[in-house]
Amino acid sequence: MPGRIASFFRNLLLKRTVDQALEDELQSAVELLTHEKMKQGLSHAEARRRALIELGGVEQVKEKVRAIRLGRFLETLAQDVRFGSRTMAKSPGFTTVAVLTLALGIGANTAIFSMVNALLLHPYNFRDLDRIVLVWQDQGSEAAFDDRNIAPADAADFFLRTNIFSSLATYRCRTDSLDSNTEVLPTDACEVSANFFGLLGISPALGRSFAESEQQLGRDAVAVASYSFWERQLGGDPSAIGKAVRLNGRTYTVIGIMPREFNFPVSIQLWIPLALPPEQQADRSQRSIQAIG
């Protein structure tokens, strides 16, 4: 194995030296075979011709050796990259269109795969997953695809004034500033109603989730951390329950740590109570929250 590695780097970095050594070796073989033919009574020209025929041609032998030696793949790849770069530089307009087309195609395929992976290959491990639905208000054909929000008062009506849902939870996500010991870090956080985790059928791995009373202003300074946040920011300390974290200059007490596999909404690091003031609870004009039922 060490010999193969050394040969690989020699072929890759000392190409001219290796090619010259191959040339010298082949010429020596031709001269030696020519000399043997001349001993049989042939002229030098005829002996050399027959020697070349017997060897299969110097250039042909070179190509066969180059095709099988270590490092040939990277050499060919480098040649292809140089040729492609020169071709694209000659046609910048075509290059721009091609790159944008590839970017859109790769992005679309990545999005589709992420959806298939989440829904079919690795679905969320929620209780009664086939009964959980997203709830939003139809905003017509001009609404953005991911604008799946609802007004707080309308969400309350869906639950209280219909018999459609046995439970309905609301949430809204945001990016907060986490005050660590040495720096301020952007952190994805999500305000959730007290029944959020219960609806999904997921309990914290450590500690507890939110109590109904903690969904009220003034009592909402508590937080549930993701497993990755617990490992990265809290050192994976089992006694992290009760510790304080500061978000946007406000102190929250960590009361729970979610299981490693829990990741909803995706990328969220901290969950805090969704404590809306009375005027927001009664609001029907601003679609400011999301809901699952």
| Per-residue pLDDT tens over the stretch 122-170 | 678 888 888 999 888 876 655 554 567 899 999 999 898 888 999 999 9
**53 and 67 co-located in one domain:** yes
Query: 230 and 217, same structural domain?
Result: yes
β pairing state of 270-273 and 184-192: parallel
Instruction: Provide mean pLDDT across the span 70-84.
Output: 65
CA distances for 242 relative to 155, 198, 236, 245, 257, angstroms: 32, 21, 14, 10, 11
Q: Is the pLDDT of residue 280 over 80?
A: yes
Residues 74 and 99 in one domain: no
Instruction: Express each pLDDT in 185-223 by its tens digit.
Output: 999 999 999 999 999 999 999 999 999 999 999 999 999
Q: Buried b vs exposed e over 237-271: b needs ≥16 C-beta within 10 Å?
A: eeebbebebebeeeebebbbbbeeebebeeebbbb
Are 26 and 166 in a shared domain? no
Regarding whether 151 and 42 lie in a shared domain, the answer is no
287 and 197 housed in the same domain: yes
Range of the domain at 232: 129-292
The total of structural domains in the chain comes to: 3
pLDDT of residue 226: 96
Q: What is the DSSP letter of 237?
A: -
**Is the domain of 100 the same as that of 145?**
no
Domain boundary at 99, 121, 143, which? 121
On whether both 229 and 160 belong to a single domain, the answer is yes
The residue from 30, 64, 88 where one domain ends is: 88
According to the model, what pLDDT value does residue 122 have?
64
